[in-house]
Structure 1
Amino acid sequence: MLDSLIHEQLDQLQQLIADEPFAVLTGAGISTPSGIPDYRDNQGVRRGCQPMMYQEFLSAPESRRRYWARAMLGWPRVRQAQPNVAHDTLARLQSTGRIGGLITQNVDTLHDQAGSHDVIELHGSLHRVLCLDCARRSERDSIQQLMESQNPYLEGVDAVQAPDGDTLLDPAFEARFQIPLCPHCSGERLKPDVVFFGENVAQHTAAKALATVEKAAGLLVVGSSLMAYSAFRLCRAVVDQGKPLLAINLGKTRADDMLDLKIEMSCEQLLPLLAQRLNP
């Protein structure tokens, strides 16, 4: 049973997005039910250790060795993750024209796997690997196979999972790790095709996301604290246009004082209820 406040807010949400398609922006909160850890708690405070910064990754082979050793153990969870009911619901709402463009901060491709189309991956995808030397891309699975064959000593090592395919690995396991080389040019500066902390979103991606929210009737944020500026700026753009800014999120967001409506309920519970009302 929904309490009276949630019931009233759900009525408001339905009325606001019933007539014209809203753009949707998703964050880590939509993928936690699929077993992928998030970066922040309900107060927007980062959990655990500081993630590796972009300049640190670039600075030395030791940094890349540390990253890839941990990521090799974290990749299976990301690869095996399946879309949950929230991803599935957004795909259905998009297919029926109830929502417009879909933008995600997540790097897990679960929206694509659920059947959403033209998803704007604001922060890239862990399923691809980019060579910083030759600029060619490889499938992550092929790089994973290479790392596993070169580093059999890590087989069976248990590491605590962290966000975005990272793990908390004892440094003693990192020193022997063989960094994978690019299969195209043999360069050793391979990087997951994602936006690191301290790195800018690609200009064309940022422009596409901005154009998507500018042509939509409003923006619905799902499962994001909006602490990353790349997402927050989209909210500001919507507000500057005088269009509604809505959120389904458990806990604090950076845009709380800008929101026209905020429903504090898990998205995998609320989105199916919304879909039932919009597509009876």
Structure 2
Amino acid sequence: MEQDIARAAALLQAARRIVALTGAGISVPSGIPDFRSSSGLWVGQDPLAVASAQAFAADPQRFFRWIRPLIDQVLAAQPNPAHRTLAALEQRGQLRAVITQNIDSLHQQAGSREVFELHGHLRSASCATCGQQVAAAALIPRVRRGELPRCQCGGVYKPDIVLFGDALPLGLYWLAVEQLRQCDLLIVAGTSLEVAPVSELPQLALASGARLLVINKSTTHIDARADVVLRGDVADLLPRIVDYRL
């Protein structure tokens, strides 16, 4: 492990345009569950039955019963050393962007400024009927009471997150793609890369000549093409890499 950390540190110290691609694993140490582990959010759930655009339209109450605990976990969470390390790399001028699948806003809370939230966030919600957007904080008391958060038009507010069957925000996606094409090091951190199209994003960086560092507890489909693969907790490993002295 120590040799791999040294190799990862050498990659990082040589890089000038770093991009980080992060997933649920980076926020697990902050108390937010991931999706696919034995204690994740999909245990005992069919994702398409609770967290798809079609399921929300058919039974929004079931969706809010499922997401209610997650909302409270996100509100209680604080950035961990991995979030803070990425923010520090940005402040040093090395990290150009964080591209994240997470909806918890912990990167911003840690101080990161260039954050591309490809799966949306929980800071606001929009009416599924008329499109009116409101701050999520105004709706949370109703959700906690088990009420459907309805708009004045009668529609139901949906958190501004990407559900299965929703399109990614295309403008944001293409801005993220441009960052990947310009980076010289991509750090894949805390994601199993199982959800398309995010799962294919590392290929874009590799095609442009970037080096690749993967930090995750489980294997990913891109491991064989990585310069360094580290298995373990991102909140432990990423600060060790940045602080390592060659």
Question: Which TM-score applies when normalising by structure 2?
Answer: 0.90
Structure 2 residue aligned with 1:232: 199
Question: For residues 26-67 of structure 1, what are the alpha-carbon distances to aligned partners after superposition, in whole Å with 9 as ceiling and x for unaligned?
Answer: 11111001111101239x9x6441222222212x2xx10111
The residue type paired with residue 28 of structure 2 is T
Structure 2 residue aligned with 1:117: 113
Structure 1 residue aligned with 2:55: 56
Structure 2 residue aligned with 1:32: 28
Structure 2 residue aligned with 1:133: 129
Shift of 1:132: 2.2
SS in structure 2 of the partner of residue 238 of structure 1: helix
Q: Is the 8 A contact 2:6 2:244 kept in 1?
A: no
Distance (Å, rounded) in 1 between the aligned partners of 2:201 and 2:87 = 21
SS in structure 1 of the partner of residue 3 of structure 2: helix
Structure 2 residue aligned with 1:13: 8
Structure 2 residue aligned with 1:181: 150
**2:100 is equivalent to residue 98 of structure 1:** no
Q: Is the 8 A contact 2:4 2:230 kept in 1?
A: yes
Q: Is the 8 A contact 1:36 1:81 kept in 2?
A: yes
Change (3 A) 1:9 1:203: same
Distance (Å, rounded) in 1 between the aligned partners of 2:141 and 2:77 = 18
CA RMSD of aligned residues (A): 2.1
The residue type paired with residue 181 of structure 1 is R
SS in structure 1 of the partner of residue 45 of structure 2: coil
Q: Is the 8 A contact 1:179 1:188 kept in 2?
A: no
SS in structure 2 of the partner of residue 229 of structure 1: coil
Q: Is the 8 A contact 2:55 2:63 kept in 1?
A: no
Distance (Å, rounded) in 2 between the aligned partners of 1:242 and 1:216 = 8
Who wins on radius of gyration, i.e. which is larger?
1
Q: Given the alignment, which residue of 72, 79, 87 partners 1:76? A: 72
Which deviates more from structure 2 when the two are superposed, residues 73-82 or residues 205-214?
Answer: 73-82
Aligned residues: 240
Q: Is the 8 A contact 2:184 2:209 kept in 1?
A: no
Change (3 A) 1:97 1:48: farther
Structure 2 residue runs without a partner (length 5+) = none
Q: Given the alignment, which residue of 49, 59, 66 partners 2:62? A: 66
The residue type paired with residue 56 of structure 1 is A
Distance (Å, rounded) in 2 between the aligned partners of 1:77 and 1:211 = 33
SS in structure 2 of the partner of residue 107 of structure 1: coil
Structure 1 residue aligned with 2:162: 195
